[in-house]
Structure formats: structure tokens, C-alpha cells
Chains A and B, each alone.
Chain A
Amino acid sequence: KQEVTQIPAALSVPEGENLVLNCSFTDSAIYNLQWFRQDPGKGLTSLLLIQSSQREQTSGRLNASLDKSSGRSTLYIAASQPGDSATYLCAVRGSGGYQKVTFGTGTKLQVIP
């Protein structure tokens, strides 16, 4: 059974800092991994999708990396802004057929002006 963990559960940083969010998964047989952000009481917004054959993906100030062998993914946010404050979730889709998606526990980020 896939288990996905995100550490830390909460993070508070001053504006302008570069930061790294972590996502660990127990089963390396994955199809892809997707990062999302969620604002309070809202749905999830897709940030980046990394296929199992890829090492990283970039979008603007965001860069996500994937290391299947160690069961880890990181989301790097450059020059953080107050608007980046949200909960960040990673989701892992297993490989081999119609595998369901397992979500991590989330990291709540606060960027202080």
C-alpha cells in the first residue's frame, strides 16, 4: 500500500526566500507525481506533473524534481511571495494498470511580508 508523507507539516518563511517542500513515498513503482496548491476552503490547483521517466519539471518560479529510487520528490519555490501562502500537496499515481492516486498529508506554507 502506497504511503505518501510530506514534511514539514507547516512552514513559515519571510518574503523573498527560496524554499523546498518535500514529498516521500514508500512504493517506487509510480506512474507519475503531481504537485498541487490548495487555498483555504477551495479546490486544488495543479502546479506541476512529473512522469516517472522524468527527473524534473519547471514552471515559472517552481521546479519539481523526482527521484524514484529514493522515493522522493521536492518542490522548489524561488523568491517566495505572500501570494504563495497555501497548502501544498503532492499526489502519487501508482503504475501497473488503473492505479489510484494517493495524496500526501500536505505542507501549509505561510510567506510573511
Chain B
Amino acid sequence: KAGVTQTPRYLIKTRGQQVTLSCSPISGHRSVSWYQQTPGQGLQFLFEYFSETQRNKGNFPGRFSGRQFSNSRSEMNVSTLELGDSALYLCASSGDGYNEQFFGPGTRLTVL
């Protein structure tokens, strides 16, 4: 079974731009969660989608948004990028959203 895939793996943007990251969960998994990882803040929960509905949301500004498609693939969007948005963005998939999470390799976003 293929694991969680994330594209792109690396991204360089400038302040004020917007970016879209993509995550394909393990086949059959219906839950996708997104996390931001930085050296200073560690791993922080962004949001979770289950069957195309946002089921939970972390404490991030409205510039961070996401969606999930009918095939469970998910995208997250960050608008009006700030320097502080530079981070490793990780996606995790879970069958039902309650149990074991499996992570993708992450997308490294650098904002200049």
C-alpha cells in the first residue's frame, strides 16, 4: 500500500504571495490532518478534514485554509505569506481520524 504523499516537497515563495500544498492520504483513509513544524514552536495542529468536512481546527489565522476532495486528497492554502510561515508542513492520514496517524514526508516552505 502506498504511503502518504505530499507535493511539492520544497517551495520557495516571497512575502505576500500565496501557496497551495497537496496531500494524498493512504488509500481508504478518510481523515487528513495538517501540521506546521518549526524549530521554535514544534509541531502545531492546523486542521483536520474527514469526508470533505473540516472536523477540527487549530489556532492559526484565517490566512491558513484547507479543503478535502471526494477522493480524500487534501489541499492547504496559505495566503499573504509572511516570513514566519517558513516551516515544514506535514500531512497525516488516518482511517477514521481517531486512531493511528501516518505522516507524509512534508513540504518545506521557505518565505523570502
Contact = CB atoms under 8 A, between A and B. Distances in A.
A31 B100 contact: no
B105 to A, nearest CB: 4
A107 to B, nearest CB: 12
A104 to B, nearest CB: 8
Contact of A42 (B4, B58, B99, B106): B106
Interface in A34-52: 34, 36, 41-46, 49
B87 interface: no
Interface string A90-103: 01010000111111
A43 B106 contact: yes
Contact of A100 (B4, B42, B58, B106): B58
Interface string B41-60: 01111001010000110100
B22 interface: no
Nearest to B42: A105
A32 B33 CA distance: 16
B104 interface: yes
A66 B56 CA distance: 25
User: Interface majority SS on B: helix, strand, loop or mixed?
Assistant: strand
Given A31-B98, A44-B90, A93-B98, A102 B45 contact: yes
Contacts of A109: none
Nearest to A45: B103
B42 A34 contact: no
Most B CB atoms within 10 A — which of A91, A100, A102? Answer: A100
Contacts of A44: 90, 92, 103
Interface of A: 31-32, 34, 36, 41-46, 49, 89, 91, 93, 98-103, 105-106
Interface of B: 4, 33, 35, 42-45, 48, 50, 55-56, 58, 88, 90, 92, 97-106, 108
**Would you list the 7 A-B pairs with minimal beta carbon distance, nearest first?**
A103-B43, A44-B103, A43-B103, A43-B105, A98-B55, A49-B100, A100-B56
